[in-house]
Amino acid sequence: MHQYSLNNGSLERILEVSDHGVRTLHLKDLNNGLDYIRQPVREFAFSLDDVYFTSYQESRIREVDGNKDAIGIAPVFQDARQDPGKLELDFALGPVLVTVVYRIYPGLCGTRKRLKICNRSSKAIRLSNLIFDDTCAAPGEFGDCDFYSGCADEPRPLSFTLEGREDVVRCHNPKLNAGWLAGSSAPGVLRYFLVYPHWGNVAVGMNMSNAPFAKELKPGECFTTPESIFVLYRGSMDDPATVRDFRQLIRKGLPDMKRRENIMYCTWIPFLKQISESLTLELAKQAAALGFGSFVLDDGWFAGNGRCVDPAKFPHGLEILSDSVRQSGMRFGLWLNVGTDYGLPGMPENWFARRADGKVNRLGFDYNNSHNIFCLGSGYRQWAKEQLDLLADRYHVGYFKLDFSSVASPYGISPWGCHAHGHEHHRGWEDSFSAIYEGMFELRDFMRERHPDVTVDFSFESFGTEYPNIAALELSEIHHVSNFSAEKPRIQSIDRVRKTFYSWLAKLPPERILNGLLSIQGNRGAEYLLTAFAGAPLVAGDLRNLPQELRSRLAVFSAAFNAAAESGPMTEFRLVENQPSADGFMRVNSEGSGIACLFNREDGIRRFRVPEGYRFVNVETGSDTPEAAPQDCAMFRVTREA
């Protein structure tokens, strides 16, 4: 029997390796001495060709059916490797070698964990029913705890399962003011949580039912699982400090940010496809004058002729627009559909996703008038890489917005996955999900190698999710998560859109999230821009028609945002206030400097309370009074008081 300890001064995790396998004995928050483990349980489990394996051999009566759960094959310990921040444990388990990898980081009270599963046999094996982390941990007793899911902490019952929707779960003990946060980097529809404390399970894994995960491993092939993130905290649920370590551990899995934060403009709203060379050149001129940093040409630039540039709209091609954008100091961005054959007649039939009945899968309500969905687990994957490479070279693209659904539709208008047999990267439906997501990562990695300065963003549509999530952020340096625009206030009001953003940003890194496509317009145009500053700013609108007074004000706000971004990414987000008639937020960097934006819907001047230890200075007036005029908004430079 061996014991291994991970300790960074904030957290200690002690694991036991014996003839029965491996399990965690203690998980301690060293800041308060609280041990979270209620009982030691398995670390992982999976099936190989439908034979079930688990990390710890034990016999017990299953409460779900009253039968004995006897696991006959114990993992055989092979080796261990450890440095101050990482522990790797190797186990032989049937035909595979499993490496369990635990990571800790200085000052963070949590761990990241993953498995690497390698096929050591001479034949292919099918991996499924994958649980890559399991624990029986609680702050105090489970009977005193409440459970929540998602970034907005939606209440959950005392036991529950989540499939394909959420990637964050919280357990909180209000008596102790302590809890844990669990996250998963499993992508989209493959996400899975099983929280059944009376079974001894808080399991993080891959979907096993409505979008079941499977992976065929050829002889010698290895598969690395997504990662679990498990963080301990002390404090009340509304204390922003309780999510700080969780947010930081999420960042440990994200790609590096190649550029400082900047303001991105997109042509989609209100023009849709009604764009032209003269229009976009003028919009780019206006965007640069306002201090924006990126200009994205959205849908409408090609005709249905193999996605060649529409000569009626852009008689000189896209080169003239790209040159103008870049000469003005902005980055040129380009929208591209990677999900369907829209604009691509005559593509190979064996590149399309198939439904269960064998027909080609299509994206839309009306099957006969919808476009075919490509499968990124087919030969289309290689073609897509070549197209991105060509476009990046030809038009000096700095940012790609990759759009349209492939694996699943956030609108629920196409069946999930691909039922084709014989695609290059999957055998059938159950392994199509992982193959399609792997295709996205392969496209990203290919472009990263070929064009290191290009940002590839798989939008919420192409990733198949409705709101920001850990896996999407790990795929894209920045991630477009919705088309909320507030263009029509009677349908979407800017204040309600903003409060939706607040719920998304409660736990995730704000600097990575393009929250919506806010259409700057009307007498509340300044509020639209300041709302965009809650995350990575993304705006739209007809910039040609802005009143000069508003234009001048937007330029001041943009300059203040850009100045704050020069000091480093504003990684911390917190609400200053969130009332029906007034709200506001602040974003600061690791040194405590950044911005605050306050919004007042009252008929009188509204004064706000500055969080302790900070100072606000109005970027328009220089006043340090934290107030906003009636029915108006205000922006402030934020510094930490000495």
Q: pLDDT (tens digit, 9 = 90+) per residue, 92-107?
A: 999 999 999 999 999 9
pLDDT class of 64 with cuts at 50, 70, 90: low
Q: For the segment 70-88, what is each residue's pLDDT rounded down to a tens digit?
A: 565 789 999 999 999 999 9
Tokens of 269: 């709203």
Do 180 and 233 meet the contact criterion of CB atoms below 8 Å apart? yes
Do 511 and 260 meet the contact criterion of CB atoms below 8 Å apart? no
Q: How far is CA 488 from the centre of its chain?
A: 27
Distance CA 129, CA 23 (A): 19
Tokens of 311: 């000569």
Tokens 């001041």 belong to 556
**Per-residue model confidence (pLDDT) at position 283:** 99
Burial of 94 (0-12, 13-18, 19+ CB in 10 A): middle
Tokens 């994200």 belong to 254
The b/e string for 12-28 (b: 16+ C-beta within 10 A; e otherwise) is: bbbbbbeeebbbbeebb
Tokens of 472: 């999407």
Paired with 168 in beta bridges are: 183
**Per-residue model confidence (pLDDT) at position 57:** 84
Tokens of 574: 């917190």
Tell me the C-alpha to C-alpha distance, in Å, between residue 36 and each of 28, 175, 205: 6, 15, 21
Find, among 185, 246, 8, the residue nearest to 104 by Cα. Answer: 8
Query: What are the structural domains of the chain?
Result: 2-251 (2.70.98.60)
Which amino acid is residue 88, in one-letter code? Answer: E
Average pLDDT over residues 489-504: 97
Find, among 45, 111, 101, the residue nearest to 73 by Cα. Answer: 45
**Ramachandran area for residue 564 (φ above 0: left; ψ -120 to 50: alpha; else beta):** alpha
Helix (H, G, I), strand (E, B) or coil at 395: helix
Find, among 235, 104, 108, the residue nearest to 170 by Cα. Answer: 235
Q: What is the CA radius of gyration of the chain?
A: 26
Q: What is the dihedral of CA 223, 434, 41, 251, to 10 degrees?
A: 90
- Say whether the peptide bond before residue 270 is cis (omega within 30 degrees of 0): yes
Helix (H, G, I), strand (E, B) or coil at 250: helix
Find, among 132, 162, 111, the residue nearest to 223 by Cα. Answer: 132
pLDDT class of 253 with cuts at 50, 70, 90: very high
Do 72 and 51 meet the contact criterion of CB atoms below 8 Å apart? no
Do 57 and 21 meet the contact criterion of CB atoms below 8 Å apart? yes
Q: For the segment 396-412, what is each residue's pLDDT rounded down to a tens digit?
A: 999 999 999 989 999 99
**Per-residue model confidence (pLDDT) at position 522:** 86
Q: What is the dihedral of CA 596, 601, 607, 608, to 10 degrees?
A: -40
Mean pLDDT of the chain: 96
**Per-residue model confidence (pLDDT) at position 59:** 64
Q: What are phi and psi of 35, to 5 degrees?
A: -95, 125
∠ at Cα 212 (207, 217), nearest 5°? Answer: 105
Average pLDDT over residues 600-620: 98
pLDDT class of 62 with cuts at 50, 70, 90: low
- To the nearest 10 degrees (0 to 180), the angle between helices 525-532 and 494-505 is 10
**CB under 8 A, 24+ apart: contacts of 429-433:** 429/356, 430/128, 430/212, 430/213, 430/214, 431/126, 431/213, 431/214, 431/215, 431/216, 432/353, 432/375, 432/377, 433/188, 433/189, 433/190, 433/207, 433/211, 433/212, 433/213, 433/407
* Sign of CA pseudo-dihedral 570, 574, 578, 583: negative
Helix (H, G, I), strand (E, B) or coil at 633: strand
Distance CA 324, CA 565 (A): 24
**Per-residue model confidence (pLDDT) at position 72:** 58
Q: State pTM to two decimals.
A: 0.95
pLDDT class of 523 with cuts at 50, 70, 90: confident
Distance CA 206, CA 193 (A): 8
Distance CA 85, CA 87 (A): 7
Helix (H, G, I), strand (E, B) or coil at 387: helix
pLDDT class of 319 with cuts at 50, 70, 90: very high
Q: For the segment 268-279, what is each residue's pLDDT rounded down to a tens digit?
A: 999 999 999 999
Tell me the C-alpha to C-alpha distance, in Å, between residue 27 and each of 40, 45, 111, 232: 10, 20, 10, 9
Average pLDDT over residues 256-281: 97
pLDDT class of 69 with cuts at 50, 70, 90: low
Find, among 287, 453, 421, the residue nearest to 354 by Cα. Answer: 421
Distance CA 184, CA 179 (A): 17
**Per-residue model confidence (pLDDT) at position 572:** 96
Tokens of 571: 């990684």
pLDDT class of 60 with cuts at 50, 70, 90: low
The upper half-sphere exposure of residue 225, i.e. CA atoms within 13 Å in the direction of its Cβ, equals 34
Average pLDDT over residues 302-315: 94
Do 170 and 204 meet the contact criterion of CB atoms below 8 Å apart? no
Q: For the segment 412-449, what is each residue's pLDDT rounded down to a tens digit?
A: 999 999 999 989 999 999 999 999 999 999 999 999 99
Do 623 and 599 meet the contact criterion of CB atoms below 8 Å apart? no
pLDDT class of 165 with cuts at 50, 70, 90: confident
The upper half-sphere exposure of residue 466, i.e. CA atoms within 13 Å in the direction of its Cβ, equals 9
Which amino acid is residue 242, in one-letter code? Answer: T
Distance CA 33, CA 178 (A): 12
